[in-house]
Amino acid sequence: MTKQPGNLRWMAPEIFTQCTKYSVKADMFSYSLVLWELLSGELPFAHLKPAAAAAETAYHNTRPPIAITFPKPIVSLLQKGWHTNPDVSAQYLFVV
């Protein structure tokens, strides 16, 4: 795993804070944000600069709003993928 992987806007909180060792589950967080972006047609936390977006997810546990039009299985995947506890986060096997 690299020391500074990815873009701050899509970075998992555990990578941004560098408080804990991270695993491949950090990729699931980023995947969930990209999936949300595809479904919503919006940039996650578009009103914030990338570092502020990363801080918002890391320190305030903020996640993008889930539209009522999102399919229920996708909502479940998003919620598991960007769970505040990376140990509980969905695994890619769940996606398949």
Range of the domain at 27: 8-95
- Which pLDDT value is given to residue 76? 92
Mean of pLDDT values over 20-45: 89
Residue 96 has pLDDT above 60, yes or no: no
Residue 33 belongs to a domain with what CATH number? Answer: 1.10.510.10
Number of compact structural domains in the chain = 1
Let me know if residue 2 belongs to a domain. no
The percentage of the chain sitting over the pLDDT mark of 90, rounded to a whole number, equals: 55
Q: What is the pTM of this model?
A: 0.82
**Residue 49 forms part of a structural domain:** yes
In a domain, 1, yes or no: no
User: Is 3 a domain residue?
Assistant: no
Domain assignment present for 26: yes
> What HEC string does the chain produce?
CCCCCCCHHHCCHHHHHCCCCCCCHHHHHHHHHHHHHHHHCCCCCCCCCHHHHHHHHHHCCCCCCCCCCCCHHHHHHHHHHCCCCCCCCCCHHHHC
Residue 14 counted as domain residue: yes
